[in-house]
Structure 1
Amino acid sequence: MLTYETIKMLCKKKGVTVTGTEKALGFSRGSLCKVDTSKPSMEKVQKLADYFGVTVDYLMTGNAPHKEKAQGLTAKDERDIAKDLNNIMQKLTSGEAGPASYDGEELDPEAADLFRDELELALKRLKVINKEKYTNKRYKK
């Protein structure tokens, strides 16, 4: 069941007030304070989940694993990451800058795939961090 304590905790984590959340989502004032005694519609619950970047399951139970959605990556960001990743892997496999090796041994295809996966994760994290750090305050949501 959706509880006010869960909403307060998510608001604190996001750095907003409950009233500010109500305004941002277009809810009436005080509506989130009454979630313990009333039954909000699934539409409202879904809006809350999207706003906080959590699953509806987490909002309803409060103890399900906190699964954050992909933070702030647009389709363009995904394309940029894929392009950068392909360029890096192309240089690695072509031997442009010398053979790819670790401890004097050449990189086998399985290790190259693992490296590609880890590099993709690192590029995604870096993109999110850079967007948060270098985006002007007036353009942030």
Structure 2
Amino acid sequence: MNLLDRIKELAHKRGISITQLEEELNIPKNTIYQWKNRTPSTKRLQLVADYFNVTTDYLLGRNQVPDWATKEEVVELDKLLDSNVNMSYGGETLTPEQIQRVKDILIATFWDIVKEDKEKGKKM
């Protein structure tokens, strides 16, 4: 999955089009579509990441799924992450950075557990 695919997926989950996203973020029309073949500016990439509450690393595909992971396992991880959308501590909603840190920990722990289960011969 490339940068444009990730942004399309996030926009779809949010129920908006790429055009609407560009309008909301004051990005010129069709700019995001050009990112399929070009690298965006750091400023614009960060703007999109902040809008969707994800990291630029996620958008750029640096948080890749292990090669040995099945589609079903990826779906289970997505369910886990989606179930923790409204994160708070002490009655206060976590900041986007804090939420991403929690998600990164969940992702790493999830794949560790799946790998251990595979080594033991367990199936999902």
The TM-score, its normalising length taken from structure 1, stands at: 0.45
Give me the whole-angstrom Cα distance separating, in 1, the residues matched to 2:11 and 2:57. Answer: 17
SS at match of 2:33: coil
Aligned to 2:45: 45
8 Å contact kept, 1:2–1:62: no
Give me the whole-angstrom Cα distance separating, in 2, the residues matched to 1:45 and 1:13. Answer: 18
Question: Aligned runs of 1:95-110 on 2, under 5 Å?
Answer: none
Question: Aligned runs of 1:81-96 on 2, under 5 Å?
Answer: 81=91
Count of aligned positions: 77
Deviation readout 1:79-122 (Å, 9 max, x if unpaired): 7x27xxxxxxxxxxxxxxxxxxxxxxxxxxxxxxxxxxxxxxxx
Aligned to 2:19: 19
8 Å contact kept, 1:2–1:60: yes
Aligned to 2:120: none
Cα 1:71/1:32, change in 2 over 3 Å: farther
SS at match of 1:39: coil
Identity of aligned residues (%): 29
Question: CA offset at residue 3 of structure 1?
Answer: 2.0
Give me the whole-angstrom Cα distance separating, in 1, the residues matched to 2:62 and 2:13. Answer: 14
Question: CA offset at residue 71 of structure 1?
Answer: 5.1
SS at match of 2:27: coil
Deviation readout 1:5-54 (Å, 9 max, x if unpaired): 11111101111111000000010000011101112111111111000111
8 Å contact kept, 1:49–1:55: yes
Moved over 3 A (4+): 62-68, 70-73
8 Å contact kept, 1:18–1:32: yes
State the Cα RMSD in Å.
3.1
Q: Which letter does structure 2 place at the counterpart of 1:25?
A: L
Give me the whole-angstrom Cα distance separating, in 2, the residues matched to 1:22 and 1:6. Answer: 15
Cα 1:13/1:62, change in 2 over 3 Å: farther
Cα 1:52/1:28, change in 2 over 3 Å: same
Gap runs ≥5 in structure 2: 66-77, 93-124
Give me the whole-angstrom Cα distance separating, in 2, the residues matched to 1:8 and 1:20. Answer: 11
Question: Which has the higher Rg, Structure 1 or Structure 2?
Answer: 1
Give me the whole-angstrom Cα distance separating, in 1, the residues matched to 2:33 and 2:16. Answer: 15
Deviation readout 1:55-76 (Å, 9 max, x if unpaired): 11100016447878x7597xxx
Q: Which letter does structure 1 place at the counterpart of 2:28?
A: S
Aligned to 1:59: 59
